[in-house]
Amino acid sequence: MEKNWIIDLVGVSKKFGESEALKDINLYVRRNEFLTLLGPSGCGKTTTLRIIGGFEHPTKGKVIFEEKDITDVPPYQRQINTVFQKYALFPHLNVFENIAFGLKIKKISKSEIRDSVSYMLKLVNLEGFEKRPIESLSGGQQQRVAIARALVNKPKVLLLDEPLGALDLKLRKGMQLELKKMQKRIGITFIYVTHDQEEALTMSDTVVVMDKGKIQQIGTPVDIYNEPKNIFVANFIGESNVIDGIMHDDFIVEIQGVVFDCVDKGFDKDEAVDVVIRPEDIEIVSAEEGQLKGKITSVTFKGVHYEMIAESGNFSWKIQSTVMKPVDAEIGMKIIPENIHIMKKVKNN
């Protein structure tokens, strides 16, 4: 029976001289999924992608493709294609010739090439652009040509390294949705690299959050957002309040001298923990009703909601709410157990 996954990275590490770009990466990529590698600059996303594409060789570990070890297989023999941020199109060839290039090398018949290229142009919404010189196209259009060129060889996996990085915000948003639709329509695996968390959450079936050469968390966008596994993920994906807490028992945590029910267990009694609470998970109530009390010190209008800061003890709580309270208002804050995320303290080194 065919396994559901197409790529498996097994204990992949990569060193450049003394510096370790990747440390023991283990990752399954499922067939036909849109998987995104997300993390800050230098975390190892591009190196991971280049190892999957065959442009880098791991120092340790294996790359498995459809159950075969392809660690030593060169890029052009892998059924994997790459779209780079710099589109790497041939400037002296027109749109048709750019897309057809890979097929011509393979000595495919002219009529077949014509059919494949027109199918691709339709897919990327560039019908009628066949004869246009590359330099006459906008950045977004060039990016579509690059995608068409990478897809025309019918790879089983498409690697995309910050492909929308050079586009302005509006175009970028449009292309995000188009790419996602395109991926579902053609039904192949996309592995996408970005440092933009909103982009990752919008497009992906699976998000892989990376930091310092390691995978921090793998999950659906909803899982990653709602159940961050550590402080790094909580802070990288959206805004968070991270405050000290003490566990009284399983399911009971003390924050700022107040005892809260929570849904996490497996901590020691009296263990010092980090507690993560999303700004939108704090409900503003009257001072009497609140579990915690605070005083509003700043209010910013953000369109769909207000962002407020409430000082309480020596902690500044970030709150997002459609209810606006003015500066100096005394408020109560309520948090339900499911929205209180308890994390082990990370010991430095």
The binding site for ligand ATP (CB under 6 A) comprises 16, 19, 21, 39, 41-47, 195
Query: 116 or 216, CB closer to ligand ATP?
Result: 216
**Collapsed DSSP state (helix, strand, coil) of residue 108:** coil
Q: What is the C-alpha separation between 9 and 26, in angstroms, rounded?
A: 5
As measured in angstroms, the least distance from the Cβ of 48 to ligand ATP is 7
Q: How far is the CB of 150 from ligand ATP (least distance, A)?
A: 19
- Amino acid (one-letter) located at 93: L
Token pair 């000290």 is found at 244
| CB of 111 vs ligand ATP, minimal distance in Å | 41
Question: What backbone phi and psi angles, to 5 degrees, belong to 9?
Answer: -95, 125
Q: Using the Cα atoms of residue 27, residue 29, residue 33 and residue 39 in order, give the sign of their dihedral.
A: positive
**Rounded to the nearest whole angstrom, what is the least distance from the CB of residue 54 to ligand ATP in the complex?**
15
State the sign of the Cα–Cα–Cα–Cα dihedral 218, 222, 223, 224: positive
CA atoms in the 13 A half-sphere facing the CB of 63: 22
- Which pair of structure tokens corresponds to residue 174? 């449009």
Token digits of residue 46 = 């591009």
The string of DSSP letters for 290-326 reads -SEEEEEEEEEE-SSSEEEEEEETTEEEEEEESS---
Task: Output the smallest distance, CB 14 to ligand ATP, in A.
Answer: 8
Nearest residue (CB) to ligand ATP, 211 versus 281: 211
- Give exposure, 234-259, as e/b (b: 16+ Cβ within 10 Å): bebbbebbebebbbeeeebbbbbeee
Nearer to ligand ATP, 87 or 96 (CB): 87
Compare residues 39 and 221 and give the one whose CB is closer to ligand ATP.
Answer: 39
Whichever of 41 and 77 has its CB closer to ligand ATP, that residue is: 41
Nearer to ligand ATP by C-beta: 193 or 276? 193
By C-beta, is 22 or 158 nearer to ligand ATP? 22
For residue 330 the two structure tokens come to 């005394």
Smallest separation (angstroms) from ligand ATP to the CB of 41: 3
Nearest approach in angstroms of CB 44 to ligand ATP is: 4
